[in-house]
Amino acid sequence: MKVVFIGATRGIGRALARQLAGEGDGLFLLGRDLVDLERSARDLEVHGGRTTGSVGIAACDLGAPEGFAGALDAADQGLQGGFDTVVITAGQFATQDQLEADAGLTRALLDVSFTGTVLFCEEARKRLLARGGGTLCVFSSVAGERGRKPVILYGAAKAGLSHYLEGLDHKFHAQGLRVLTVKPGFVKTSMTAGLTPPPFAGEPEAVATMVMRGLARGTPVIYAPRVWGLVMLVIRWLPRLIMRRIGF
C-alpha cells in the first residue's frame, strides 16, 4: 500500500503508522508541525528498516481546507506512482466542560473534526476514484453513536463524520472505494491524558493491530477495543428515560 497519513505523530496514529511501516507499506505524513513530522518520519524509517528520507512529509492542517489539494499533490509526488490509501487519525478533542465554556473552542473543534475532515475526505475520494478506487480509513469515535452527556459536542462532530463515511461507503463501494470507519472507545493516548480511564480502556498498539486487520479485510466499521461494540449496542438501545438519568 501507498499511504497518505494525517495524524501519524501521536497516539493510535503513531502505533498504526509503525505497523504499516513494519509491513513495508509506503508512507507520506501530513500534519501541522513539520518538526514533529520530521521526528516521526525518522522513527518510521527505523521501524520499517528503511533509509533516511524514504518517509516524506508535508504541512497540512485539517482546519485549513485550502491546503488540502497541495498537500495531496505533495503526497502523490512523494509516493512513487501516487497513493492508494488515505488514513486520517487526526482530530481535535476537548472535554464537554471546556467546550461549553468556550464557543471559540467549540467552533475550532467542529471545523477540524467535522468540516475539515469531511472536506479532506472529499478531496481524497475524488483522487482515489479517478485512479480506479482505493482505501479511505478514517477515525471517528464511539462518542458519535448516541448523544451522551460527557461528549455532546465532540460526539456530534463524530456522529456527523460517521454518517458521512457510511454514506460514502454505500455510494462508492461498487466503484472500488473501500471506506473504513474506525470507532475507538477510550484509548490511553495523549488525547485522553489527564482523564480517568474507564473500564475497558485500550492501548494504542492493540487498536492499531485491529485496524491493520480491518485494512487487510476491508471491514467497513471497526470498534476498538472490540468490547466497545457491545457497550455501544447496549447504549444505542437504552431508553431516553434511562439516558437522561445516567451520567454516561
Stretch that binds another protein, among 8-16, 112-120, 211-219, 238-246 (CB under 8 A): 8-16
Kindly tell me which residue out of 1, 32, 47, 206 binds another protein, with binding defined by CB under 8 A: 47
Please count the CA atoms within 13 angstroms of the CA of 112 that sit on its side-chain side: 23
The candidate with the shortest Cα–Cα distance to 189, out of 40, 8, 11, is 11
Give the x-and-dash track for 164-193 against another protein (CB under 8 A): -------------------------xx---
Instruction: Name which of residues 54 to 73 contact another protein (CB under 8 A).
Output: none
Q: Which is nearer to another protein, 106 or 189 (CB)?
A: 189
50 binds another protein (CB under 8 A): no
Gap between the Cα atoms of 54 and 247, Å rounded = 48
Q: What's the rounded Cα separation, in Å, for the pair 13 and 235?
A: 27
Q: How far is the CB of 45 from another protein (least distance, A)?
A: 8
φ/ψ of 81, rounded to 5, equals 85, 0
Q: Which stretch binds another protein (CB under 8 A): 23-31, 43-51, 132-140, 153-161?
A: 43-51
**Residue 123 binds another protein, judged by CB under 8 A:** no
Q: Which of 1, 43, 209, 219 touches another protein by CB under 8 A?
A: 43
* Sequence-distant (≥ 6) Cβ neighbours of residue 218 within 8 angstroms: 135, 178, 180
**How is residue 80 written as a grid cell?**
512513487
**Full strand arrangement of the beta sheet holding 2-6:** 56-59, 26-31, 2-6, 85-88, 134-139, 177-184, 221-224
User: What is the nearest approach in angstroms of another protein to the Cβ of residue 46?
Assistant: 4
The answer to whether residue 131 forms part of the interface with another protein (CB under 8 A) is no
- If binding is defined by CB under 8 A, does position 46 make contact with another protein? yes
Beta-strand relationship, 85-88 and 134-139: parallel
Under rule CB under 8 A, residue 199 binds another protein = no
Considering the complex, what minimum distance in angstroms separates the CB of residue 137 from another protein? Answer: 22
Q: Which of 30, 45, 170 is nearest to 88 (CA)?
A: 30
Instruction: Select the residue interacting with another protein from 34, 42, 132, 149 (CB under 8 A).
Output: 42
Chain residues binding another protein by CB under 8 A are 10-11, 14, 39-40, 42-43, 46-47, 49, 52, 189-190
